[in-house]
Structure 1
Amino acid sequence: MQKDAPINVLGTPLQECSSTDPVTGFFRDGHCNTCAEDRGSHTVCAQMTAEFLAFSKYVGNDLSTPRPEFGFAGLKPGDQWCLCAGRFFQAHEEGCAPTVDLDATHQRALDIVPLDVLRQHASQPSED
């Protein structure tokens, strides 16, 4: 699998998505890197909230329950995680999207989520 260029939605080098326990990313490298095989587009670096975790569980992707057989301790509010862009956009439309780190969100997220939507949920205002 060849990674896509590590560029974020702002056109600068992709930063780490500050989650090391558990390690996030399609490649489990702490970054929201992606490639052609990443069908879910795990490209949006988001900080988990109780509301988003409940929503994700409700729609069929339980991120909060530990799964030791996969080495996954479960996420809790405050953890950062590389979300599937489609799930993030769905949460946005339902009014429960988590905060996003634009510096750590891969540019491929823009294939699914408009930049203005990501900016609405940005943890820090970005410069235009």
Structure 2
Amino acid sequence: MTGFYRDGCCSTGPEDLGSHTICAVVSAEFLAHQRAIGNDLSTPMPEYRFPGLRPGDRWCVTARNWLRAHEDGAAAPVVLASTHEAVLALVPLAVLEHYAVDVPGDLSALDDLS
């Protein structure tokens, strides 16, 4: 389950030093970029209840690493409705909107991305 608190939400708090506040639909390019900067999101890490990600998965990613991917031309799409407002302290809304994907009325349609 995603989220710093593993509650399915991109909530944040004082313990979340990485600010896992962006709900991203991860792509192969984004995952490769993250691995290249030392943030392997593909390999499962059971000790952190982390399943490992595949393209199309939706996951709460850190604001800094997502921003770095944006700056390097490898940003993942963002589900704005599920992204925490705290991210605005680091990433401008206009940048997030550029990568925004619509959330359909029937959320099961997002499963087709994987």
TM-score normalised according to structure 1 size = 0.76
For the residue of structure 1 that corresponds to 2:21, the secondary structure is strand
What does residue range 46-125 of structure 1 map to in structure 2 within 5 Å?
A: 46-124=24-102
Greater helix share, structure number: 2
- Across the aligned residues of Structure 1 and Structure 2, the Cα RMSD in angstroms comes to 1.4
Superposed displacement of residue 69, structure 1: 4.1
For the residue of structure 1 that corresponds to 2:24, the secondary structure is strand
Aligned counterparts of 1:81 and 1:42: Cα–Cα separation in 2: 9
Aligned counterparts of 2:84 and 2:48: Cα–Cα separation in 1: 25
TM-score normalised according to structure 2 size = 0.85
Q: Does residue 35 in structure 1 map to residue 13 in structure 2?
A: yes
| Cα displacement string for residues 57-82 of structure 1 (whole angstroms, at most 9, x for unaligned residues) | 11011010122344432100010000
Aligned counterparts of 2:46 and 2:17: Cα–Cα separation in 1: 24
For the residue of structure 2 that corresponds to 1:42, the secondary structure is coil
Change in CA separation of 1:62 and 1:36 when aligned onto 2, cut-off 3 Å: same
| Cα displacement string for residues 102-124 of structure 1 (whole angstroms, at most 9, x for unaligned residues) | 00000000011000000010002
Aligned counterparts of 2:102 and 2:36: Cα–Cα separation in 1: 28
Aligned counterparts of 1:99 and 1:74: Cα–Cα separation in 2: 18
